[in-house]
Structure 1
Amino acid sequence: MQGIKNKTAQAWAVVMLCWPALLFAQTPVTVEQALINCKKLYPSEFESKKRLACFDSISTPTEFVAETTPTNTVTEGDAPNAIAKTAPPIAIEKPSTLSYLERKWRLTSQGDWSISDFETYKSNYLLVTKTNNTNDTPQSPSYINTEDRHLDDKDLRFQISLKTEMMNNIPIVRELPYVTSSRIWAAYTQQSNWQVFDSAASRPLRENVYEPEIVLSLGIDNEVDGEKKHYIPRMLNVGLVHQSNGRSNPTSRSWNRFYLESGWELSDSLSLMVRPWWRIPESEDDNPDIEKYMGYGDMSIRWEDRKRKNAATLLLRNNLRSDNKGFAQLDLQRQVMNNPYLKLHLMASSGYGASLLDYNHSQTILGVGISLGE
């Protein structure tokens, strides 16, 4: 229920922020008229930040070019209340030029943002999944587990992932060479696997994985002589992430990591993210061999079409050892019912670490359902 409330609040926040842009899109206006409308919407001096955001919305996410016909002026002999008449402008709509990384991490402007405003982080989805190899007796070198859970091979998997901006335009950082934006984000992701089809076992929640995170995100100038260079990263993130399943021994699993993530725009529709990480040592370790299976980083490649109705993401992990334990996951999304926020979602994964409890268990999983946002 809390997740639904957060999504509802998020949707209202998006509507309120985009309202000026929607208003201008319905009635073609000149730039001057649009500026006047922003001043009317937010006349108070205490609403200056919202007014600036309204000014930004005139050109983003959609850019308009107005073409007008000559003005028909009014002479002194006309009626006293007469005003100059101008033929209505013709609005020519151009698609937004913001890339996926620029949209996802707000790399192009500071904007009007509050810590109470949330947006999607990772995928938010609801999937029915089926595995070829259930992990009935999860093991760890730290504890012996003999309990056989007799799991069903089908789950209802859902994930909620949100982030909010805590600070932007950070002093010192903003003065660094090639840095175009600087933000600190707080994020939270929760993935749950529910044995909803196992009525004989009273439909238990098989596992919840909790993942709070803090990220310093920097926009990087990747242009040389006014032209974008695909070999220069557009984004650089430095993060600290905790991940645990909140269970007691012998099935408790957790770890903490620092990571450095770089993002490249390989083309207008293709993005590459590479994220090496370093595990923070723990005195009491539930899973001391987790790096043997989860590796030392991951890489994801994302493609989207020009209209953003279809997207595909490939996530890869490997331990880079001779025993070669890895993981691959492909997510396909397609917009449905002309709703840009609602997607048909297909998922296929194979390898180790589909969930935290399964970090040292290999399986192949297929899933189908819906997702919200990007």
Structure 2
Amino acid sequence: MLRLGLTGGIGSGKSTVADRLAEHGARVIDADRISREVVAVGTDGLAEISARFGPEVLDADGALDRAAMARLVFADESARSDLNGIVHPRVAARTAELMTEAGSDAIVVHDVPLLVENGYQADYHLVIVVDAPVEQRVRRLVDRGLPEEDARARIGAQASEAQRRDAADIWLDNGAELDRIRSSVDELWRERLVPFEANIRSRNPLPLNGPRIVEPDPEWPRRASRLLARISKAAGDSALRVDHIGSTSVPGLPANDVIDLQLTVRSLAEAEALVEPLAEAGMPLLPGADTDEAHHPQPDPEQWPDRTHVSADPGLRAKLYLRVAGAANWRLALLLPAWLRADDGARREYASIKRDLAARFGSDPDTRRYIEAKRPWFERALPRAERWASETGWQPPPW
């Protein structure tokens, strides 16, 4: 199953995107609709609300008077907490039921207006944010009968564009004509969502092929942050820490366009237990990749064991290394980026090496020649990095 979180500010037109995805076969779960269903007339949810808040929150037909309820809890934190305690567990249970009913091969779209505000991003394989210019959103709301002042107030009370950008794996601009947003959704479905779901179901890591050195991308840290949150959630208590490592974690450094991440575990046995949870989260195991080949100067691979997972998402190249806390390869993966961030000369030197080797081996689908060609530079660089660590007092972060 591929789980998608769909959100957007009021008036952004995310229902257009939800409807188009449904036309393609996605199972759409509407959080607002469920929140109304669980407190409908005759439900135990409404009975509990009435018992807690009294008959004044019911209208003449015995239904929930949402305006009266809003006035009651607006300035009363205790009342709002009690209301959430009644509604939220029921919404979560019903959502889980609908997810299960969708089936293991489904693409499920969870339409959640306040997804970003509530911090739900890590619950999904991808978050889709639908956006439109503020003035256009205001016009849409006014056309629906909302006073302009109220429209602007509601927009201002929601997450900012910057907050949504941080959360968005996919950003859809719904400010143009309807055909354009539908075309964007069609392409997204065909090129990314369908193959992503199939890769998760088949536990198929994407081939990364040869190195593609590109200029520094300001989006790398945000992509890494979203992945780290999902990995941490999938790994649970087994995750001692998760880190963005490798060249994409070094500002200003050209890099192979692959997000490298490290999950710190207590043992390789614990890493083995995470194979299925990480695969379900969209990071299946890469078979046979159980030793770090890239950097270690020692010939004994037993000193450098790890487990490697690779993204199943066609829209994002990423690798995740599971390494034991305190191991040599674990420490090195943290040391090298720290040194390169601090040493301008080393960073320029490494950039030059990467560009040269990528030009020589970039068309080779087998990356081992590229890795082997980098080894002499690492063997020379490691003592320099260790001297820097000694001189500056650098230590790996605690776990």
TM-score, structure 1 length as denominator?
0.24
Question: Which protein has the bigger strand share?
Answer: 1
Bigger relative contact order, structure 1 or 2 (CA pairs below 8 A, ≥6 apart): 2
TM-score w.r.t. the length of structure 2 is 0.23
Considering fraction of residues, name the structure with more helix.
2
